[in-house]
Amino acid sequence: MVSSSHEAMHRIFQEDPGIFARTFEKFGVPFAHPVEVSYLPTDLTEIQPLERRVDTLLRFDGADGDSRLLLVEAQSKRDPAKPSSWAYYTSHLYAKYKVPPLLLVVCQDRSTARWAAGPFRIGPPQWATLQLRPLVVGPDNTPVITDPSTAAEDIPLAALSAITHAYDKGADAILKALAGALKTVDETTAGTFVELVSLGLTNSPALNTWRTLMAVDLSFFRSPIANEIRDEGRQEGRASAKAEDVLKVLDARGI
Protein backbone atom coordinates (compact mmCIF):
# COMPACT_ATOMS: atom_id res chain seq x y z
CA MET A 1 0.00 0.00 0.00
CA VAL A 2 1.39 3.40 -1.02
CA SER A 3 1.53 5.82 1.91
CA SER A 4 1.09 9.59 1.72
CA SER A 5 4.68 10.16 2.88
CA HIS A 6 5.82 7.88 0.06
CA GLU A 7 4.00 10.11 -2.43
CA ALA A 8 5.46 13.32 -1.03
CA MET A 9 9.05 12.03 -1.11
CA HIS A 10 9.04 11.70 -4.89
CA ARG A 11 6.36 14.24 -5.88
CA ILE A 12 8.46 17.12 -4.57
CA PHE A 13 10.72 16.50 -7.57
CA GLN A 14 7.71 17.01 -9.81
CA GLU A 15 7.00 20.39 -8.22
CA ASP A 16 10.61 21.54 -8.69
CA PRO A 17 12.86 19.19 -10.73
CA GLY A 18 15.80 21.56 -10.26
CA ILE A 19 15.98 20.57 -6.60
CA PHE A 20 17.88 17.48 -7.75
CA ALA A 21 20.96 19.38 -8.96
CA ARG A 22 20.82 21.87 -6.09
CA THR A 23 20.82 19.08 -3.51
CA PHE A 24 23.87 17.26 -4.81
CA GLU A 25 26.00 20.25 -5.77
CA LYS A 26 26.29 20.97 -2.04
CA PHE A 27 28.05 17.64 -1.58
CA GLY A 28 30.55 17.81 -4.43
CA VAL A 29 28.54 15.77 -6.93
CA PRO A 30 27.81 18.36 -9.63
CA PHE A 31 25.00 17.91 -12.13
CA ALA A 32 24.21 20.53 -14.75
CA HIS A 33 20.91 22.31 -14.22
CA PRO A 34 18.42 21.39 -16.95
CA VAL A 35 17.13 24.00 -19.37
CA GLU A 36 14.06 21.92 -20.09
CA VAL A 37 12.24 19.20 -18.15
CA SER A 38 9.56 16.93 -19.55
CA TYR A 39 7.37 14.51 -17.65
CA LEU A 40 7.30 10.97 -18.99
CA PRO A 41 4.79 8.16 -18.38
CA THR A 42 5.56 6.30 -15.16
CA ASP A 43 3.97 3.05 -16.35
CA LEU A 44 6.80 0.66 -17.26
CA THR A 45 4.54 -2.36 -17.75
CA GLU A 46 5.62 -4.71 -20.52
CA ILE A 47 2.83 -6.76 -22.11
CA GLN A 48 1.43 -9.28 -19.63
CA PRO A 49 1.16 -10.04 -16.82
CA LEU A 50 3.89 -8.15 -14.90
CA GLU A 51 3.22 -4.51 -14.04
CA ARG A 52 6.04 -2.12 -13.16
CA ARG A 53 5.62 1.51 -12.14
CA VAL A 54 8.34 3.95 -11.17
CA ASP A 55 7.29 6.64 -8.69
CA THR A 56 8.37 9.70 -10.71
CA LEU A 57 10.08 9.79 -14.10
CA LEU A 58 11.58 12.96 -15.60
CA ARG A 59 13.65 13.69 -18.68
CA PHE A 60 16.31 16.40 -18.33
CA ASP A 61 17.60 18.08 -21.52
CA GLY A 62 20.57 20.40 -21.12
CA ALA A 63 21.72 23.34 -23.23
CA ASP A 64 24.70 21.36 -24.54
CA GLY A 65 22.51 18.55 -25.85
CA ASP A 66 23.18 16.39 -22.81
CA SER A 67 20.08 14.45 -21.78
CA ARG A 68 19.27 12.05 -18.99
CA LEU A 69 16.33 10.33 -17.40
CA LEU A 70 15.77 10.80 -13.67
CA LEU A 71 13.89 8.02 -11.90
CA VAL A 72 12.79 9.05 -8.40
CA GLU A 73 11.80 6.27 -5.99
CA ALA A 74 10.55 6.81 -2.43
CA GLN A 75 11.67 4.03 -0.11
CA SER A 76 10.46 3.72 3.50
CA LYS A 77 12.17 0.42 4.42
CA ARG A 78 14.49 -2.24 3.10
CA ASP A 79 12.92 -4.41 0.43
CA PRO A 80 14.92 -7.35 -0.98
CA ALA A 81 12.78 -7.29 -4.12
CA LYS A 82 13.53 -3.66 -4.95
CA PRO A 83 17.02 -3.98 -6.50
CA SER A 84 15.72 -6.28 -9.23
CA SER A 85 12.81 -3.86 -9.89
CA TRP A 86 15.21 -0.92 -10.06
CA ALA A 87 17.46 -2.83 -12.44
CA TYR A 88 14.44 -3.53 -14.63
CA TYR A 89 13.37 0.13 -14.59
CA THR A 90 16.76 1.44 -15.65
CA SER A 91 17.38 -1.22 -18.30
CA HIS A 92 13.89 -0.90 -19.77
CA LEU A 93 14.05 2.90 -19.92
CA TYR A 94 17.51 2.90 -21.48
CA ALA A 95 16.29 0.47 -24.14
CA LYS A 96 13.14 2.53 -24.75
CA TYR A 97 14.51 6.09 -24.79
CA LYS A 98 18.24 5.54 -25.53
CA VAL A 99 18.96 8.16 -22.85
CA PRO A 100 21.19 7.45 -19.79
CA PRO A 101 19.00 6.76 -16.73
CA LEU A 102 19.85 7.93 -13.21
CA LEU A 103 18.09 6.36 -10.23
CA LEU A 104 17.45 8.58 -7.19
CA VAL A 105 16.07 6.99 -3.99
CA VAL A 106 14.57 9.25 -1.29
CA CYS A 107 14.50 7.90 2.29
CA GLN A 108 13.49 9.18 5.73
CA ASP A 109 15.33 6.45 7.61
CA ARG A 110 19.14 6.34 7.87
CA SER A 111 19.35 2.57 7.84
CA THR A 112 17.19 2.38 4.73
CA ALA A 113 19.25 5.13 3.07
CA ARG A 114 22.51 3.24 3.69
CA TRP A 115 20.98 0.07 2.27
CA ALA A 116 19.51 1.84 -0.77
CA ALA A 117 22.92 3.25 -1.75
CA GLY A 118 24.04 -0.27 -2.71
CA PRO A 119 25.85 -1.15 -4.83
CA PHE A 120 23.63 -4.05 -5.87
CA ARG A 121 25.38 -6.65 -8.02
CA ILE A 122 23.21 -8.79 -10.22
CA GLY A 123 24.72 -11.97 -11.63
CA PRO A 124 26.98 -14.76 -10.40
CA PRO A 125 29.43 -13.86 -7.60
CA GLN A 126 32.41 -14.48 -9.88
CA TRP A 127 31.30 -11.83 -12.36
CA ALA A 128 28.41 -9.42 -11.85
CA THR A 129 26.51 -8.91 -15.08
CA LEU A 130 24.99 -5.70 -13.77
CA GLN A 131 25.89 -3.35 -10.92
CA LEU A 132 23.24 -0.92 -9.69
CA ARG A 133 24.37 2.24 -7.84
CA PRO A 134 21.46 4.48 -6.87
CA LEU A 135 21.94 8.04 -5.69
CA VAL A 136 20.29 8.49 -2.30
CA VAL A 137 18.69 11.48 -0.59
CA GLY A 138 18.25 10.91 3.13
CA PRO A 139 18.76 12.43 6.57
CA ASP A 140 22.55 12.19 6.34
CA ASN A 141 23.00 14.21 3.15
CA THR A 142 20.00 16.54 2.99
CA PRO A 143 20.72 20.03 4.40
CA VAL A 144 19.16 20.87 7.77
CA ILE A 145 17.50 24.22 7.11
CA THR A 146 16.46 25.97 10.33
CA ASP A 147 16.76 29.62 9.27
CA PRO A 148 13.59 31.16 7.75
CA SER A 149 15.54 33.42 5.39
CA THR A 150 17.58 30.48 4.12
CA ALA A 151 14.39 28.45 3.71
CA ALA A 152 12.80 31.33 1.77
CA GLU A 153 15.68 31.27 -0.72
CA ASP A 154 14.82 27.72 -1.74
CA ILE A 155 11.43 26.58 -0.45
CA PRO A 156 11.40 23.23 -2.35
CA LEU A 157 14.74 22.30 -0.79
CA ALA A 158 13.48 23.40 2.64
CA ALA A 159 10.40 21.21 2.14
CA LEU A 160 12.60 18.27 1.16
CA SER A 161 14.67 18.93 4.29
CA ALA A 162 11.51 18.78 6.42
CA ILE A 163 10.34 15.53 4.81
CA THR A 164 13.64 13.65 4.96
CA HIS A 165 14.32 14.77 8.55
CA ALA A 166 10.77 13.96 9.71
CA TYR A 167 11.98 11.54 12.38
CA ASP A 168 14.96 13.59 13.59
CA LYS A 169 15.01 15.56 16.84
CA GLY A 170 15.59 18.80 14.95
CA ALA A 171 12.49 18.39 12.77
CA ASP A 172 10.51 21.04 14.69
CA ALA A 173 13.11 23.74 13.99
CA ILE A 174 13.09 22.89 10.27
CA LEU A 175 9.29 23.08 10.17
CA LYS A 176 9.22 26.45 11.93
CA ALA A 177 11.72 27.85 9.43
CA LEU A 178 9.67 26.50 6.54
CA ALA A 179 6.45 27.94 7.96
CA GLY A 180 8.10 31.35 8.16
CA ALA A 181 9.37 31.06 4.60
CA LEU A 182 5.95 30.11 3.24
CA LYS A 183 4.59 33.47 4.39
CA THR A 184 6.79 35.13 1.77
CA VAL A 185 5.25 33.44 -1.28
CA ASP A 186 1.86 33.45 -2.93
CA GLU A 187 -0.93 31.35 -1.45
CA THR A 188 -1.06 28.84 -4.33
CA THR A 189 2.65 28.02 -4.09
CA ALA A 190 2.55 27.92 -0.32
CA GLY A 191 -0.53 25.71 -0.35
CA THR A 192 1.21 23.19 -2.60
CA PHE A 193 4.12 22.79 -0.21
CA VAL A 194 1.87 22.82 2.86
CA GLU A 195 0.10 19.79 1.41
CA LEU A 196 3.30 18.02 0.33
CA VAL A 197 4.96 18.43 3.72
CA SER A 198 1.78 17.32 5.49
CA LEU A 199 1.79 14.14 3.42
CA GLY A 200 5.51 13.62 3.91
CA LEU A 201 5.23 13.83 7.71
CA THR A 202 2.46 11.23 7.98
CA ASN A 203 2.91 8.96 11.02
CA SER A 204 5.91 10.95 12.27
CA PRO A 205 5.91 12.86 15.60
CA ALA A 206 6.71 16.04 13.66
CA LEU A 207 3.27 16.00 12.06
CA ASN A 208 1.70 17.44 15.24
CA THR A 209 4.14 20.35 15.14
CA TRP A 210 3.32 21.01 11.50
CA ARG A 211 -0.42 20.86 12.15
CA THR A 212 -0.02 23.42 14.96
CA LEU A 213 2.01 25.70 12.70
CA MET A 214 -0.65 25.45 10.00
CA ALA A 215 -3.39 26.26 12.49
CA VAL A 216 -1.53 29.29 13.89
CA ASP A 217 1.29 30.64 11.71
CA LEU A 218 -0.28 29.51 8.42
CA SER A 219 -3.92 29.97 9.39
CA PHE A 220 -4.64 32.15 6.36
CA PHE A 221 -4.18 29.23 3.95
CA ARG A 222 -7.30 27.52 2.71
CA SER A 223 -5.80 24.16 1.75
CA PRO A 224 -7.87 21.01 2.47
CA ILE A 225 -5.54 19.89 5.25
CA ALA A 226 -5.43 23.35 6.86
CA ASN A 227 -9.24 23.53 6.79
CA GLU A 228 -9.45 20.06 8.30
CA ILE A 229 -7.20 21.11 11.19
CA ARG A 230 -9.28 24.23 11.83
CA ASP A 231 -12.46 22.11 11.86
CA GLU A 232 -10.86 19.74 14.36
CA GLY A 233 -9.88 22.68 16.53
CA ARG A 234 -13.43 24.04 16.56
CA GLN A 235 -14.80 20.59 17.47
CA GLU A 236 -12.27 20.22 20.28
CA GLY A 237 -13.22 23.67 21.55
CA ARG A 238 -16.91 22.78 21.65
CA ALA A 239 -16.14 19.48 23.39
CA SER A 240 -14.00 21.28 25.96
CA ALA A 241 -16.79 23.81 26.67
CA LYS A 242 -19.29 20.99 27.18
CA ALA A 243 -16.92 19.22 29.55
CA GLU A 244 -16.52 22.40 31.60
CA ASP A 245 -20.32 22.74 31.84
CA VAL A 246 -20.60 19.17 33.16
CA LEU A 247 -17.91 19.82 35.77
CA LYS A 248 -19.72 22.98 36.94
CA VAL A 249 -22.97 21.04 37.40
CA LEU A 250 -21.17 18.30 39.36
CA ASP A 251 -19.41 20.88 41.50
CA ALA A 252 -22.70 22.65 42.24
CA ARG A 253 -24.12 19.33 43.47
CA GLY A 254 -21.14 18.71 45.72
CA ILE A 255 -19.76 15.87 43.62
Q: Which of 142-151, 160-169, 206-215 has the lowest mean pLDDT?
A: 206-215
> Cα(first)–Cα(last) distance of the chain, in Å?
50
Query: Which helix (DSSP H) or strand (DSSP E) does residue 57 occupy?
Result: strand 56-61
Task: Measure the CA angle with vertex 53, ends 48 and 54; round to 5°.
Answer: 150
Burial (CB < 10 A; 0-12, 13-18, 19+), residue 202, is middle
List the domain boundaries for the chain.
1-141, 143-255
CATH 3.40.1350 fits 1-141, yes or no: yes
Inter-residue contact 85 to 54 (CB < 8 Å): no
Assessment of whether the complete model's pTM goes beyond 0.85: no
Evaluate the omega torsion of the peptide bond into residue 148 and state whether it is cis, within 30 degrees of 0: no
99, 58 contact by CB (below 8 A): no
CA distance 219 to 164: 24
pLDDT for the residue 84: 93
pLDDT value at residue 225:
58
106-148 per-position pLDDT tens digit:
999 999 999 999 999 998 888 889 999 999 999 999 999 999 9
